[in-house]
Every structure is written in C-alpha cells, then in structure tokens.
Amino acid sequence: MDLKLKIWRQKNANDKGKMVDYPISNVSPDMSFLEMLDVLNNELIEKGEAPVSFDHDCREGICGSCSLYINGEAHGPDRLITTCQLHMRTFKDGETITIEPWRAKAFPVIKDLVVDRTAFDRIQHAGGFISVNTSGNTIDANAIPINKADADNAFMAATCIGCGACVASCKNSSAMLFVGAKVSQFALLPQGQVEATDRVLNMVKQMDEEGFGNCTNTGACEVECPKGISLENIARMNREYLSASLKG
Ligand code: SF4
Ligand code: FES
C-alpha cells in the first residue's frame, strides 16, 4: 500500500505546531498502525530527520498509552480497539491518513503526538483506590458474597485502561466516562463502600480542577471507547455524587 500521511509535528509544549505531509510506500496491510509509524520513523532517521514522537507501551490494548486521533476519530475508524490494535488493512491503497494528538485543555501536547495525561493520575490519586488492612487479619475478598450482576458490572467498569479517548472525542473534553468507570468499579462492590462518600466527592473535585468540561450526554465517548465503557457508569457516578453531597 502507498499512503499519504498528514502528521501533527510540534517540537515542544511551547511550539505552535503544524501538519506535515509524509508519503510512505510498500506498507503491508498486515502491519499494525504503530508498526507503520515505526517504518516511517526509520526512514526519517535514515534521512537525518527527527522521528515522530508517539506514546506506546504494551501494543496489545492493555496499557492505554497509544493515544492517536486518526482521520478525526480517537483510535481510528474501527470500534472497540486501541490504536495499537488497528491494522493497515482498515485503510485503502492511496488513502490520505490524518494523525493528530488528543486535543483537550487538560491534555496539553508535550511533543508531536504525545500529550500529558497525568491529570488522569491525579484524579485516581484523589480517590480511585480502596484502603485495606494488611495486618494479617484481612478477610479474604472471596469470602464476601457479591451479586453476579454487580460483579460483572464492576468488572466491566474496571476494564477502563485510562487511555483518554473519551475526553478526546467529547466536544466538551469531559472526563466523565473515565471518572464514572473508576467510581463505579468500587461503588458496585462491598469493599468500595467504606470510602465511597469521600471517593466520589474528591475525584469529581479533582476532575473539575484539572479543567475537563461538563457532560452534555452526546455519547461520543461511549462510541469511541476502546473498552466499551457504558454511559450507565456516568449515571451511576451522578447518583453516587448526589448521595455523597446529601451526606455532607
Ligand atoms: S472510559 Fe474508555 S475511552 Fe475513557 S479512558 Fe477509559 S477506556 Fe479510555
Ligand atoms: S500500546 Fe498499550 S494499549 Fe496501545
């Protein structure tokens, strides 16, 4: 396949940045999208040019670091996959592919296609955990009976990989799907009840302080989420927030 890539290049956080055209030839349809970028980078290095910076780690849909906006969609045109799971056979020979970083005030561009997503880490630190007594008297978690539907929904919420596609695809740059998933995975389990009030209040407060926008129920986040996290998690978080606020 021969392709024309239009890639966002930005030297650093202060650089204005611009789209740059890169033709690329002999791309195998069986390559992953990131492997195609590896080939481009090898060519750029051989020509003495700076390679394109992009985030990646596991390359198997687990870590959530491969955050690319491809042809106007977070993680590209396929559904329920991350950029590293996207294959070049999805595109047509001769096609022009536009590749941009996530765009959101709370995710500033560091370089080229790499954005700073530490805002998500700070939201997690604000309450995305449970405190467990590990003194030796801890009750085995499996000894506590949990309704099957609640266990399944908690597990589904826990599959959120923190990639940020929900924010990038939202016209308001809202992080409600991410925070909803992180609140829900504990709200549905007995182990999460002890810190439930503080958790939702603190995580939502941190989310607002980071500069993420409000949810206006557009639903783009759910469509673009590689893990199929449901909007029901936002509704659950709102219920948790209302209940926590009334408790004071
Ligand atoms: S909710 Fe989905 S899109 Fe948002 S961070 Fe989690 S996995 Fe990524
Ligand atoms: S590189 Fe880890 S999810 Fe894509």
Query: What is the residue-level pLDDT of the chain in tens, covering all 248 positions?
Result: 999 999 999 999 999 999 999 999 999 999 999 999 999 999 999 999 999 999 999 999 999 999 999 999 999 999 999 999 999 999 999 999 999 999 999 999 999 999 999 999 999 999 999 998 888 887 787 888 999 999 999 999 999 999 999 999 999 999 999 999 999 999 999 999 999 999 999 999 999 999 999 999 999 999 999 999 999 999 999 999 999 999 96
CB of 56 within 6 A of ligand 2: the answer is yes
Round to whole Å and give the CA distance between 104 and 117: 10
Q: What is the pLDDT of residue 138?
A: 79
- Return the residue whose CA atom lies nearest to atom 6 of ligand 1: 160
Tokens of 28: 């195998």
Domains of the chain, start order: 3-111 (3.10.20.30), 118-247 (1.10.1060.10)
Tokens of 154: 């908690």
Q: How many CB atoms within 10 Å of residue 152?
A: 12
Q: What is the pLDDT of residue 53?
A: 98
With CA atoms as reference, report the closest residue to 164 among 217, 227, 98, 215. 227
Q: Record the pTM.
A: 0.96
Distance from Cα 59 to the centre of ligand 2, integer Å: 4
CB of 161 within 6 A of ligand 1: the answer is yes
CB of 119 within 6 A of ligand 1: the answer is no
CB of 65 within 6 A of ligand 2: the answer is yes
Round to whole Å and give the CA distance between 248 and 56: 42
